[in-house]
Structure 1
Amino acid sequence: MMTEQLLRLFSGVFVGIYVARYLGPDQFGALSYVLTISALLIGVSRMGMDSVLTRDLVQKPDRKKELMGTAFWIMTITAAICYALTATTIYNIQEDNETKLYALIVAGSTFFTSFLVIDFYFQSQIQAKYSSLCKSTSLIITSSVKVALIFYKSNLIWFVVITALEQAILATFLIIVFSRTNLLTFFFKFNTQDAKEMLTSCWPMVISSVAILIYMRIDQIMIRHMLGLREVGIYSAAAKLFDAWFLLPYTLTISLLPIISKLKQENSSFYKLRLTQFFSMIIWTCMLVAIITTFTSEYIIKLSFGDEYKEAALVLTIMMWTAVFSATGSVSARYFSAERMEKKIATRTIASAILNIILNFVLIPIYGIIGAAIATLTCTIFANYLIDWLDKDLKDLLKIKHNALLFRHQLKDSK
């Protein structure tokens, strides 16, 4: 998994920078804009199954096929609905025809997200190395194609097409690897009772995922319509570096979910202790990176993207401080899943998404892309820390976070 993340970091930083330099702020802004739309669709079509299905596979190991098949068809149906609604919306909005075409092409990748149930299966078995191998291979292929497109001076639409095919290529490799098991017939399984239970658990996760994407990505859509595609490109340059870095803490939280769920299920006295240690590792690692970025962001942007993107330096600094609280929220989501408190995620993220939209409306006209970054940071702090003080059910979680910040990892503090 670490190898995969290093490759993804390489792709996000070096290949992403290479593409941004080649396309320039305007075309890179157009590409980033349609990718934001795609990210919102994928967030919905995943249906929160990365947490719900992984948890259920750990707790009901004798019903793997039924659970995977049910999750697969839930995600497939959701993807079809999402694409139909998106196509209708894109057709009716005021946007140039090229951008509409790009959005429809990229949105097509949503249909392949249902094959991620194979990835979730490997995670539940603590065998994520297999899905990481598939992700790494598909990433190498798509990154190589992007470099080749630059070499042959290709048009923007080809970058859109290869981006849309990333999910399809990954799905192909996941099926190939998974075919070695005797579970591939899960495609033909569907259990109505499982579907009801999954939907009951996952709808808060879906809402929270969409809300997270809104308060992390809606800024790019609002920048597009309030400032222009060039500003989207500059803002996205900083976001590209942020995304590349944030993959590491996010992957760590996903990979440890089965362990956290198992400790909770066994009523282990080490449950809260391990959570505290994990929070501490995530918080302080992200803070160290944020501090370093604060003093080097201008140099990093100019070295990476060139003078055309120099306005992204301060945005990058703000985003890296946002990563501290985003990573904390990612660990909190695993806690909520283990505690079956998924509704808490939905409540906080909906409130934060609404707050972010309001702040963007206020701050973008005044401060431009800097205002958008400030709005995201403010909402992330609110969603992943301040709101804990307002909920009496989260006293334990708040204590765990404070212990993690102060390096209190003794077992007595976890009881």
Structure 2
Amino acid sequence: MNINERNLLKKYISFSLGTWFKALISFFITPITTWLINPEEFGKAAMFSTAYSIILLVSILGTPSALLRFFPQKSEEEKTILLWSSLITPIILSALISIVVFIFKSSINAFLVGTSVSNAHVILIATLITGIFQTFNMNLVRTKGRGILFSAIDITQSISQIGFILLYALLVKRDFYALLYAQLFSNILALGIGMYFERDYWFPIKIDKKLVFEVVQYGYPLVFSGLFWWILNWIDRVVLRLYVDFSEIGLYSAAFKIISAMNLLTSGFSTLWYPFAYEQYEKNPENKIIFKRTLDYVAFLTFSAGFVLLSFKDVIFLLLAKTYRPAAAISPFLILNPVMITMAIVVARGIDFSKKTYWFIVSNSTAAIFNLIGNFLLIPIFGAKGAAVSTGLSFIIVFAIESSVSKKLYPVPYNLRKVYYLVIIFIFSASFHTFSQNLFLSILSSLVGLLATVFLYKSEFSKVFSVSVDLIKGIIHKI
């Protein structure tokens, strides 16, 4: 392992400590919630999250990505103007969306929570506005490379969310409003912390029309990719709403919430990787081996985590209330989400470097159409399990398209054969865990997958183990 690889691995492990802590906190939010709120109410909160995610996506218009892309290129004076120049368009769009929500509030409430008489639409608008600011808040901290602050905000938001859920459920009522208000108020708290530490960028408010146009021009094509990404990630809950009741949607969402703890590791990696990848490309575009080696390490870590999660899923779901434990059989294929997307984050950078981002539209739309068809075919037969199978397989399509296109645009000698070997093993193992009643065979299949991962990436296993031991020894020594 050369010095650059070792430093990157150490940086990733140390940078992700806060994210891992947040993942641990978030992992326990769902069990706590299931003991307080029944599956039907949980399902209503899931539908609220579905609506929130799409209107947030439309409102931000790809501008946070523009902030990340342009920030390193701008002078220090321009950087102080870039934030609000990126933010002004989402603010205007959110105001227009809010008017539409108020006009159709009865229909929106009925679809989201099953009754037209509800305050859900008001909370939706408030959460949208705070969510826009919070998105830029985190991207600003991220692009400045302030990993400790980034993790601190994440952790604070997670802890406060637990606190708000407990307070509302125990003191007011155990319904879906506990989850809705928790999201809103944790957004506000996290935003306040970030704005305080980066106040030089937030205040005074400065806007440059030329920058606004530049940001929108870069960001708006990403909305189309984002819309297909939303379909890929959220259409399962919409189709479930057509065929099943809120209780089964609640079970499906609980399974997704447990898996989302692993998604946080993906987020932690992307936080480090995007700025690093852009920097490496700007410095020396011919240094491609770092991308190849990064995929090897990421593939080893994500598949290992995935197979371990498969093996212990039934134990993990024992933490949930008894009414939610059937969600364990729903979760296996959902693990493909963080596994495939984390690897795609590495291999797809050639699309960015060549500025041919329309390929993200191609990959996301193809996977979204596959997922939409799969959901309509499988949900009537298998219910939430069918939604999980369709959604999980869709992320393989995303990886396959983006990796093959990226290799052509920016040739890197990725060893994709190893990845696809493990994908095949994972599909077989997830099928056992989803549909088989034989617990022994299910666990055996995932353990075989774990051993195959270590065998195929034995060099990476040895190096990760060595660096982890050194890092732990260093922490113990400092303590």
Contact 1:83 1:108 in 2 (8 A): no
Deviation at 1:19, TM superposition (A): 0.8
Alignment of 1:21-32 (within 5 A): 21-32=35-46
Deviation at 1:247, TM superposition (A): 0.7
Report the 3-state secondary structure (helix = DSSP H, G, I; strand = E; otherwise coil) of the residue aligned with 1:340.
coil
Aligned partner of 1:109 in structure 2 is 127
For residues 238-277 of structure 1, give each alpha carbon's deviation from its aligned partner in whole angstroms, at most 9, with x where no partner exists: 101111111112221122211211111123433x222222
2:226 equivalent to 1:209 = yes
Contact 1:276 1:409 in 2 (8 A): no
Contact 2:84 2:205 in 1 (8 A): yes
Report the TM-score when normalising by structure 1.
0.87
For residues 5-27 of structure 1, give each alpha carbon's deviation from its aligned partner in whole angstroms, at most 9, with x where no partner exists: 23422332212211122111111
* 2:307 corresponds to which of 278, 283, 291: 291
Contact 1:234 1:309 in 2 (8 A): yes
Aligned partner of 1:345 in structure 2 is 360
CA distance in structure 1 between the aligned counterparts of 2:116 and 2:19, rounded to whole angstroms: 33
For residues 182-237 of structure 1, give each alpha carbon's deviation from its aligned partner in whole angstroms, at most 9, with x where no partner exists: x3335232x23322222222123222223222211221122122111001110011
CA distance in structure 2 between the aligned counterparts of 1:166 and 1:366, rounded to whole angstroms: 38
Going from structure 1 to structure 2, the CA distance change for 1:259 and 1:167 (only over 3 Å counts) comes to same
Aligned partner of 1:163 in structure 2 is 183
Answer with 229-238 or 61-70: which moved more. 61-70
Contact 1:47 1:206 in 2 (8 A): yes
Going from structure 1 to structure 2, the CA distance change for 1:388 and 1:135 (only over 3 Å counts) comes to closer
Going from structure 1 to structure 2, the CA distance change for 1:8 and 1:44 (only over 3 Å counts) comes to farther
Contact 1:325 1:384 in 2 (8 A): yes
Structure 2 unpaired stretches of 5+: 1-14, 420-455, 461-479
Report the TM-score when normalising by structure 2.
0.76
2:25 equivalent to 1:11 = yes
Going from structure 1 to structure 2, the CA distance change for 1:404 and 1:233 (only over 3 Å counts) comes to same
Deviation at 1:154, TM superposition (A): 2.5
2:206 equivalent to 1:185 = no
Report the 3-state secondary structure (helix = DSSP H, G, I; strand = E; otherwise coil) of the residue aligned with 1:123.
helix
Contact 2:229 2:364 in 1 (8 A): yes
Answer with 365-374 or 137-146: which moved more. 137-146
CA distance in structure 1 between the aligned counterparts of 2:459 and 2:408, rounded to whole angstroms: 19
2:43 equivalent to 1:37 = no
Deviation at 1:28, TM superposition (A): 1.1
CA distance in structure 2 between the aligned counterparts of 1:370 and 1:403, rounded to whole angstroms: 29
Aligned partner of 1:252 in structure 2 is 269
Report the 3-state secondary structure (helix = DSSP H, G, I; strand = E; otherwise coil) of the residue aligned with 2:284.
coil
Report the 3-state secondary structure (helix = DSSP H, G, I; strand = E; otherwise coil) of the residue aligned with 1:187.
coil
Deviation at 1:364, TM superposition (A): 0.6
Structure 1 unpaired stretches of 5+: 411-415
Aligned partner of 2:433 in structure 1 is none
Aligned partner of 1:413 in structure 2 is none
Going from structure 1 to structure 2, the CA distance change for 1:166 and 1:134 (only over 3 Å counts) comes to same
Deviation at 1:398, TM superposition (A): 7.4
CA distance in structure 2 between the aligned counterparts of 1:89 and 1:177, rounded to whole angstroms: 39
2:160 equivalent to 1:141 = yes
Deviation at 1:351, TM superposition (A): 2.5
Amino acid paired to 2:294: F
Answer with 92-101 or 335-344: which moved more. 92-101
Report the 3-state secondary structure (helix = DSSP H, G, I; strand = E; otherwise coil) of the residue aligned with 2:205.
helix
Going from structure 1 to structure 2, the CA distance change for 1:142 and 1:197 (only over 3 Å counts) comes to same
Amino acid paired to 1:73: I
Going from structure 1 to structure 2, the CA distance change for 1:161 and 1:122 (only over 3 Å counts) comes to closer
Aligned partner of 1:320 in structure 2 is 335
For residues 356-385 of structure 1, give each alpha carbon's deviation from its aligned partner in whole angstroms, at most 9, with x where no partner exists: 112111111111111101111221111221
Give the share of equivalent positions with the same residue, in percent: 17
CA distance in structure 1 between the aligned counterparts of 2:322 and 2:411, rounded to whole angstroms: 44
Amino acid paired to 2:19: Q
Contact 1:223 1:369 in 2 (8 A): yes
Deviation at 1:60, TM superposition (A): 1.7
CA distance in structure 2 between the aligned counterparts of 1:28 and 1:352, rounded to whole angstroms: 27
Deviation at 1:343, TM superposition (A): 1.7
Aligned partner of 2:290 in structure 1 is 274
Going from structure 1 to structure 2, the CA distance change for 1:367 and 1:355 (only over 3 Å counts) comes to same
Deviation at 1:403, TM superposition (A): 7.9
Going from structure 1 to structure 2, the CA distance change for 1:88 and 1:385 (only over 3 Å counts) comes to farther
Aligned CA-pair RMSD: 2.8
Contact 2:300 2:457 in 1 (8 A): no
